[in-house]
Chains A and B, each alone.
Chain A
Amino acid sequence: MWKMYVVMKRVVIGACIFLICLASFLSAEKTAQISLRYSRQDTLVRLVVEGDDTVIAGSTTIASPAMLRIDFPALFELKKPQDFIFETSRKDRTLNIALTDVMDIRVYKLSNPSRIVAEIKVRPAAVAQQPSGQGTVPPPKPLGPTAAAPAKQQPAVPAAKQPGAPQPAPAPSQTGAPPAAAPPPAAPAYRTVVIDPGHGGYDFGMLTQDFKEKDFSLSMAKDLAAALVKKGIKVVLTRRADQSQPLAERISFANSKSPDLFLSIHATPDDLPSVTTALMDDQGLDAVIRLYKLAVRQNRHIDRSRTVARSIAEALAADTKAKAVLRELPSPILTSLDAPAVLIEYPVTAKKTVDQKARDKFISSVMKGLMP
Chain B
Amino acid sequence: MRPRGIWIILIVIFFLAGAAGSYFFLKYYTPAVPQPPAIGTGEQSPETLELITVRLMLPKDKKLVMTEKRLGGRIKSIALAEAVVEEFFKEAGNAYAIPQNVKLLGVYRDANQVLYINLSDELRRNFQGDALDEYLLLKGMYETLVSTIPDFQDLKVLVEGKEIETLGGHFFLKHPLKSLVMTEPKSTSVAPHE
Q: How far is the CB of B21 from chain A (nearest CB, A)?
A: 10
Q: Report the minimal beta-carbon distance from B24 to chain A, rounded to whole angstroms.
A: 8
Q: How far is the CA of A279 from the CA of B131 in the complex (A)?
A: 13
Among the 9-residue stretches A59-67, A225-233, A290-298, the one with 4 or more Cβ atoms under 8 Å from chain B is A290-298
Residue of A nearest to B170 (CB): A331
Interface-central residue, B129, B170, B185, B191, by most chain A CB under 10 Å: B170
What residues of chain B lie closer than 8 Å to A328, measured between beta carbons? Answer: 185-187
Interface pick from A18-26, A31-39, A69-77, A82-90: A18-26
Check A292–B176 contact: CB distance below 8 A.
yes
Question: How far apart are the CA atoms of A330 and B179 in the complex, in Å?
Answer: 10
**Are B23 and A9 in contact (CB-based, < 8 A)?**
no
- Contact, CB under 8 Å: A270 / B171: no
Q: Are B187 and A327 in contact (CB under 8 A)?
A: yes
Interface residues in A278-317 by Cβ distance below 8 A to B read 279, 281, 284-285, 289-290, 292-294, 310, 313-314, 316-317
Tell me the complex Cα distance, A23–B24, Å.
10
A326 proximal to B (CB < 8 A): yes
CB neighbours (8 Å) of A247 from chain B are 165-166, 169, 172
Check B171–A331 contact: CB distance below 8 A: yes
Given A13-B9, A313-B190, A328-B185: A207 in contact with B128 (beta carbons within 8 A): yes
**Is A12 interfacial (CB 8 A cutoff)?**
yes
Nearest chain-B residue to A323 (Cβ)?
Answer: B189
Tell me which residues across on chain B come within 8 A of A266, comparing CB atoms: 130-131, 169-170
B150 proximal to A (CB < 8 A) = no
A137 CB within 8 Å of chain B: no
Taking a contact as CB atoms closer than 8 A, the residue among B5, B132, B169, B179 that contacts A327 in the complex is B132
Q: Does A159 belong to the interface (CB within 8 Å)?
A: no
Picked from A27, A321, A326, the residue with its CB within 8 Å of the CB of B187 is A326
Q: Distance (Å) between the CB of A17 and the closest chain B CB?
A: 10
Contacts A269-B130, A329-B132, A331-B170 given; indicate if A16 touches B189 (C-beta within 8 A).
Answer: no
B131 x A276 contact (CB < 8 A): yes
Nearest-CB distance from A324 to chain B (Å)? Answer: 5
- Cα-based distance from A330 to B175 in the complex (angstroms): 14
Contact check, A12 vs B190: say whether CB atoms are below 8 A apart: no
Q: Which of B128, B131, B190 contacts A331 (CB 8 A)?
A: B131
Q: Does the CB pair A324–B2 fall under 8 Å?
A: no
Binary CB contact string for chain B from 172 to 194 against chain A (1 if under 8 A, 0 otherwise):
10011011101111111111101
Judge whether B190 and A314 touch: CB under 8 Å.
yes
User: Are B192 and A318 in contact (CB-based, < 8 A)?
Assistant: yes
Among B12-20, B44-52, B86-94, the stretch in contact with A: B12-20
Q: Select the stretch in A186-194, A197-205, A235-243, A356-364 that faces chain B.
A: A197-205
Q: Which A residues are CB-close (under 8 A) to B183?
A: 279, 281, 330
A165: interface (CB < 8 Å): no
Which residue of A12, A22, A268, A310 is within 8 Å of B13 (Cβ)? A12
CB within 8 Å of B: which residues of A? 5, 9, 12-13, 15-16, 19-20, 22-23, 26-27, 198-199, 203, 205-207, 246-248, 266-270, 272, 274, 276, 279, 281, 284-285, 289-290, 292-294, 310, 313-314, 316-318, 320-333, 343, 345
Top-10 shortest CB links A-B:
A268-B130, A328-B186, A289-B179, A313-B190, A292-B179, A281-B183, A292-B175, A323-B189, A317-B192, A199-B169
8 interchain pairs, CB-CB under 8 A: A13-B9, A270-B62, A272-B189, A281-B183, A289-B182, A294-B172, A318-B192, A327-B186
